[in-house]
Structures are given as C-alpha cells and as structure tokens.
C-alpha cells in the first residue's frame, strides 16, 4: 500500500516539477524545479530497488551538475522580453524536436513490449546475482563484461576534460602582477625583508 502511495507521490511530483521547469518564467526557478524533478526521480529509483543509481543521480546531477547550472543561470541577467520575442521564430523548430522525441518514446515503448533486446551478451551473464547488493552486481558487470565500454567512456570524459582545460587556459607571463609564488612567500623571512637602521638626522636611508 505504502509503495503504491509513494510511487504515485514521486511520479506526480516528477511530472509536475518537470512541467514547471519549462513553464516557469524565471530561469532560476526553472533550474530549481529541475532539481526537484531529479530528486523525485531518485525516489522512483529507490522504489524499484536501484538504490545505487538513485544515490548517484542525486550526487552527480543534483549535487554537481545542477549546482553549476544554477551558478551560471544566477549570474546571467536575462531579458525576458527579448526571450519572448524569439519565441515565434523558434516555434516550428521546437515542435519538430518534440515530435522526434515523441516518436522515439513510442518506438522505445513499442520495442520494449515486443521483447527485451539482446546486445550480443551471452545468456545469463547479465542476470542479477542472487544475494548480492546491486552495487556489487553493477561493479561485477562493469569490470568484467562491459570493461571495454566502461573504459572507453572514461577515456572520452578525460579527453573532454582536457579539451575544456586547453580551450580556456591562457598562458600568463610569470611576471604578471597578480602572479603568486607560494613557496617563495613561505620561504621569506623577516631578516630578508626588513632592515633595522638608525640613520643620522637629515641623512635618510638608502634602499
């Protein structure tokens, strides 16, 4: 009973906050509704027993990706009138994307109802191992059956990361005014930096 109640609660909240994400006028509100939607989707994952995926969804999407979204959107000063002016121009394009997504959804559900797809995996290997938590199951599959795909995904992410750093990195001259050499600062001692002089009156000190 409580499972059914929880399912409908999470499902309604996912749909409602998902709709509000696109309906909200303020982009910051949109991001916050998106976060609510992620969080409830994680609740649905817990209900089907995929607690590992649920936690990763919260950690990665809610905890990191959405924070960066919010970070960027908060700093943008968005002109709403300008946004609405472009609405009619982009309307056919938006409809086209929506139709493609709808077609894919129908196709996916139809294909699923026709029977599960076997992607060249020998029978039985993908079946959950009884008596193990799903972290152990995922780990065992990722590091044996899907090792190549897993490492390829890692490599792609690494390349993307290096690419982003290379694109934004600017070489600065070491004599740059704001440049800071931490070890040089730590090595500096009072006796190197100060002198104790008692000059005669009217003579001054030479620096």
Partner 1 sequence: MTEFFQSLGLTYEAAWAFATISGILLIALPLMLAVAMIIYVDRKIWASMALRRGPNVVGPFGLLQSFADGLKVFLQETIIPSAANKGLFLIAPIVTFTVALLAWAVIPFGPEAVLANINVGLLYVLAISSLGVYGVVVAGWASNSKYPFFSAMRAAAQMISYEVSIGFILICVVLWAGTFNMNGIIEAQRGHGLGIVNGFVFNILLFPMWVMFLISSLAETARAPFDLTEAESELVAGYQTEYSSMSFALFWLGEYANVLLMCALNAILFFGGWLPPLNVDWLPGYYVPGWIWLFGKIFFFFFIFSWVKATVPRYRYDQLMRLGWKIFLPLSLFFVVLVSGYLMLTRYAA
Q: Which residues of this chain interact with partner 1, rule CB under 8 A?
A: 1-2, 28-29, 32, 35, 51-52, 55-56, 58-59, 62-64, 67-68, 70-71, 74-75, 133, 135, 180, 182
- Whose Cβ is closer to partner 1: residue 71's or residue 91's? 71
- Whose Cβ is closer to partner 1: residue 51's or residue 145's? 51
Least Å distance, CB 71 to partner 1, is: 5
Least Å distance, CB 148 to partner 1, is: 20
Least Å distance, CB 187 to partner 1, is: 17
User: How many residues comprise the chain?
Assistant: 207
Least Å distance, CB 46 to partner 1, is: 9
Least Å distance, CB 152 to partner 1, is: 20
Nearest to 136 by CA among 198, 40, 51, 10: 51
- Whose Cβ is closer to partner 1: residue 135's or residue 162's? 135
- Whose Cβ is closer to partner 1: residue 25's or residue 118's? 25
- Whose Cβ is closer to partner 1: residue 1's or residue 193's? 1
Longest dimension (CA), the chain: 101
- Distances in whole angstroms, Cα of residue 2 to Cα of each of 7, 44, 50: 8, 13, 18
């Amino acid at each position: 009973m409580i499972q059914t109640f929880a399912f409908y609660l999470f499902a309604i909240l996912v749909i409602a906050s998902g709709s509000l994400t696109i309906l909200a006028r303020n982009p910051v509100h949109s991001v916050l509704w998106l976060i609510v939607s992620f969080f409830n989707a994680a609740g649905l994952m817990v209900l089907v027993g995929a607690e590992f995926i649920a936690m990763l969804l919260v950690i990665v999407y809610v905890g990191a990706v959405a924070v960066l979204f919010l970070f960027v959107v908060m700093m943008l000063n968005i002109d709403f009138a300008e946004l609405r002016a472009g609405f009619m121009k982009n309307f056919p394009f938006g409809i086209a994307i929506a139709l493609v997504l709808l077609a894919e959804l129908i196709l996916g559900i139809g294909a699923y109802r026709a029977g599960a797809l076997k992607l060249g995996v020998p029978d039985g290997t993908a079946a959950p191992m009884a008596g193990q938590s799903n972290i152990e199951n995922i780990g065992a599959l990722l590091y044996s059956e899907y090792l190549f795909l897993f490492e390829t995904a890692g490599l792609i992410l690494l390349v993307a990361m290096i690419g982003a750093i290379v694109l934004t990195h600017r070489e600065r001259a070491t004599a740059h005014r704001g440049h800071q050499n931490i070890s040089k600062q730590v090595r500096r001692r009072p006796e190197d930096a100060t002198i104790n002089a008692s000059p005669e009156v009217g003579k001054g000190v030479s620096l």
